[in-house]
Amino acid sequence: MLFCVLAASLAASYKVKKYPTLRVFRFGQPTKHEYRGERTLKGIRSFVEDQLRDVVNVIYDLTAINNLDVS
């Protein structure tokens, strides 16, 4: 019974209202990204891979600036 109370409390603290709910945490803090796509392996995998992608692009020379996608 204690587990149910703890799980309900944890769910409420992160506003989980339906199952399954996937939340992204970075450095122990929840992000605003919540998965709302299809509940398929392909959809969930794509979401997770997107979240794991490095968003920092390292530029090693000035000519690479011309190739940046700024849209």
Whether residue 2 has pLDDT greater than 60? no
The DSSP letter of residue 27 is T
> Which positions ≥6 away from 34 have C-beta within 8 Å?
21, 22, 23, 24
Whether residue 42 has pLDDT greater than 90? yes
So what's the pLDDT on residue 57? Answer: 74
What is the rounded CA–CA span in Å between residue 6 and residue 41? 29
Predicted model pTM:
0.55
Whether residue 20 has pLDDT greater than 90? no
